[in-house]
């Protein structure tokens, strides 16, 4: 009986110690993964309830800054996509409702530069 990670073709699955297929969130060591209802490991963007997550090509849940195409996103330490104002270190950023980092624009009375950093107030 197979247990643990199992690759069938190009799809990965995770089987419990009793051989049962896992679905939903899985913590393996210190890394979170998401297994779809089919048991297949998810990659890319995942909407779970009302929260967006990003799963890397190896299935691991991403945290921190993520460049997807030409757009920057920020994923909190729990993996949830951030929106609104975000303080990272000593810098402030604005993440739109879709999670995309704003740049070269005014957000109300605040200006964010091409790097997305708040630089001045009107």
* Residue 14 bridge partners (DSSP): 5
DSSP 50-86: TEEEEE-TTSPBP-EEEEETTEEEEE-TTSPBP-EEE
pLDDT 10s digits, 6-29 = 999 999 999 999 999 999 999 999
pLDDT 10s digits, 26-62 = 999 999 999 999 999 999 999 999 999 999 999 999 9
Mean pLDDT on 89-98: 97
């Amino acid at each position: 009986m197979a247990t643990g990670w199992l690759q069938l073709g190009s799809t990965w699955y995770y089987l419990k110690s009793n051989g049962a297929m896992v679905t939903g969130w899985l913590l393996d060591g210190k890394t979170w993964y998401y297994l779809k209802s089919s048991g297949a490991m998810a990659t890319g963007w995942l909407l779970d309830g009302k929260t967006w997550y990003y799963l890397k090509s190896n299935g691991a849940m991403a945290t921190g800054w993520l460049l997807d195409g030409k757009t920057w996103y920020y994923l909190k330490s729990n993996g949830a996509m951030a929106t609104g104002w975000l303080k990272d270190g000593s810098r402030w950023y604005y993440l739109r409702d879709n999670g995309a980092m704003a740049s070269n624009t005014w957000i109300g009375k605040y200006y964010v530069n091409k790097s997305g950093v708040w630089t001045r107030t009107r």
